[in-house]
Structures are given as C-alpha cells and as structure tokens.
Amino acid sequence: MPLNLGDVVPDFSCDSSVGQIHYYDHVGDENWSILCSHPSDFTPACSTELGTLAKLLPQFERRNCKVLALSCDSAESHRKWIKDIDASGYCGKTSSTVSYPILADEERALAVKFGMLDPEEKDEKGQPLTCRAVFIVDDHKKLRATILYPATTGRNFYEILRVVDSLQLTDEYPVATPANWERGEKVCVTPSTPDEVAQVVLGDFSVVKVPSGKKYLRLSKDPGYKTPKVLKRGMVETILGTEYGAKLLPTLGRMVVAFALGFSSSSFASSKKKEKPVHTTTQTSGWKKR
C-alpha cells in the first residue's frame, strides 16, 4: 500500500553510515524528519545533493527537523562515498560533513515499504534503483508532504526547507502560503476562517477585489514573522551561516566598500534587500490543526 499524506509512517530499523538506526528513536517525539532517497552511491547528482544537505543541516536543525538519506548500497560503501562528498566542495565550510545517517537499504526493503523504487532506472544487475523521493514527516510521525524527482534531476533543498516552513506555520495559524511564498511574505487566510476570527487571530488583512465579487482572496502578514531589531554580536555570523545570509552577502559587500569610501549607511537604502524573516517558535495560538 502506498503511503498517503496524513498516514503515520512505519517505524523501521536499518544499518546506516553511522550504525544501526531505529527510526522513531532516532527522530524522537519532538522532531520533524525528512527522508531523502538516492538512486545509488558514487553517482554525480546524488553526491551534490548529499553535500548540499550537509551544508544546510543547521537550517533543518533550526526547524527541529532531522535529516536521513537512503541509498540501496552497504553502510561500508556509504562511508567511503562520504569521504568523496566531503572532498567535493558541496558541503560548504570545511566543518560541514555528511554527519546525518545514510541508510543502507541493500535489500530495498525500505524502498518498497515507502514506494521509492523507480521502474525506469535499473542497476547493472537489472534491479530497480530508488528515485529521488522526499518524505517530510511531522512530530507525530505523520507524512505531511512527498516530492518525487527522477534520477536525472537533483533536488532543490531550499524548496524543502520552504515546505517545512509552510507546514509548521500553517499548523499554528489559519493560513495557507501562496505561490513562491517565503518567510515574512504575505499569507492567505484559509477559506474556513470567518473575517471576525481572522481579524482577532491574524490582525488586519486585505481582500483582493476580483471580477466574481467573491471575497476569498484575503491576505494578511505572516503571523510567524518576527523582524530582528538589533544585530547583536554573533548574529552576523549566524545570519551569514544561513541560506538567507548567502543572498545578503552582495549587499553587505557593497556596504563595506562604501563605508571604506566614506559614504553614510543611508546611501544603501535603495540597494538594501528586504530583511529576511525569522519565525517565532514559541507562539501558540490554539489554531493547531493536529
């Protein structure tokens, strides 16, 4: 039976690059998890993906999300492959490495259980390889999202972080996140939420006028967004270590050059990017869907 959204994912035990993993114990009761399958060890796109996941591991940890990868080769093979991935440059800073487990699903038992096999891709023995599947599982072990890619398309892990953000936000508030939404951007009020309730829970919202006259496209600010007011010591390093920091680097570079040339910070107003949001994690609004 394929796993459907909302199903509790089965527990399993499996050897891995870091030893035997008992899935439920490994993830714990409070964490989310992502499980990413890979066609095979020592393959190019997979290597870039696992390196990138290592680089982004702090981003997943900030979202209380454990990372697990899976490939149908032995744990010994995974450990040798990790040395290549570490050396590939895709892990980012030298301190980053593939420290999360790569499950060794040699018999393809998990691949079958989770419906990860790609009938189009076979190994040299003619056995089907795993596709690039992503399973996003919440802190109740419920499957919340899946994404399937073919072997020839490497995944975008910023998108997976974005989906985790959306799921965690929409669990807390009666909102849906619009197309291409990123943290801090406007969100949609869910259709089942009356105006009066939206006003209390989300504050002011706007209604987009449409030809039908129906008032279903209501937009409010991101209720999980908290603007950092002061950059304290250490925060710059933290920000630069995030995916947003990488995007901010060109702006910071311009600031350094301009200060060296004696301009005031106001000369940057036009080139400043919108401040990236930080979600509060402690808020509880009573709107939890689960």
Residues that bind ligand BEZ in the complex, under the rule CB under 6 A: 39-40, 43-46, 121, 151-152
The residues, any chain, with a CB within 8 Å of residue 201's CB and separated by 6 or more, are 173, 174, 193, 223, 285, 287
46 or 56: whose CB is closer to ligand BEZ?
A: 46
Give the count of beta carbons closer than 10 Å to the beta carbon of residue 196.
8
CA distance to 10, 183, 188, 235, 265, per residue, from 225 (Å): 34, 7, 14, 17, 25
51 or 224: whose CB is closer to ligand BEZ?
A: 51
Which residue, among 187, 178, 158, has the nearest Cα to 245 in the 3D structure? 158
Smallest distance, ligand BEZ to C-beta of residue 152, A: 5
Contact 99, 57 (CB under 8 A): yes
44 or 213: whose CB is closer to ligand BEZ?
A: 44
Question: Hey, what are 174's tokens?
Answer: 């009666």
Give the count of beta carbons closer than 10 Å to the beta carbon of residue 15.
17
Smallest distance, ligand BEZ to C-beta of residue 151, A: 4
44 or 126: whose CB is closer to ligand BEZ?
A: 44
17 or 71: whose CB is closer to ligand BEZ?
A: 71
Smallest distance, ligand BEZ to C-beta of residue 129, A: 6
51 or 174: whose CB is closer to ligand BEZ?
A: 51
Smallest distance, ligand BEZ to C-beta of residue 47, A: 7
The residues, any chain, with a CB within 8 Å of residue 180's CB and separated by 6 or more, are none
Smallest distance, ligand BEZ to C-beta of residue 160, A: 17
Smallest distance, ligand BEZ to C-beta of residue 1, A: 27
119 or 234: whose CB is closer to ligand BEZ?
A: 119
Smallest distance, ligand BEZ to C-beta of residue 132, A: 8
